[in-house]
Structure 1
Amino acid sequence: MKELIAQHASELITGIIAVVIGWFGKSKMSKKVEDAELTKLVQGIYKDMISDTDRMIDQNTQEIAELKKKLQQKDQYWQNKYSILQRENRALKQRISELEKH
């Protein structure tokens, strides 16, 4: 038995080395496949994030435009109100001035 092992020791060692190298190569290849799958997954997540961000930016832009329009309407309302009050104030001052003269 020892003689058989001694005769084929080099083949046995070569076989063990081949198995280790094969296992290492397979492990390295499966690692590359896992890395590629993870990269693809991360790219998908980034793509979803970008499309969601674009959608949110569009919504915010639309909301800002609507708020600007409302602000302009309110500003116009208060400008009109102020003009009316100024006109009424001038009219009242003129009336008071006329009444004081009599």
Structure 2
Amino acid sequence: MEIIMAVLAGLLFATAIYNLLQKQILRIIIGTVLLSHGAHLFILTMGKLKRGDPPIIVEGAGPFTDPLPQALILTSIVISFGVTSFLLVLAYRASTLNKTDNMEELRGSEHE
């Protein structure tokens, strides 16, 4: 199962990098979203996909699952949601002011 998750995270990373290298702002934002999802899967895979009891200490309990990867992913989801919403508002503002979403046109010419 870890192999499948690692391959899926790699595909998400590859798709994210492809989208980050595009000229449209929306594709760049989609690339950052896919990059964060790939990081979430990577963290979950590195924490080992095992089943066990909840991490509550009681007498006679079996092996526990590690809650740290889940806590890191939850924190990362909140941060990536904030960054994505900020980037969407920034892209909307830039496209309404400049009437384009092309990064080459937003950058301007070297002679200005």
Q: Same fold (TM over 0.5)?
A: no
- The two structures have a TM-score, normalised by structure 1, of 0.33
Higher Rg? 1
Larger proportion of helix: 1
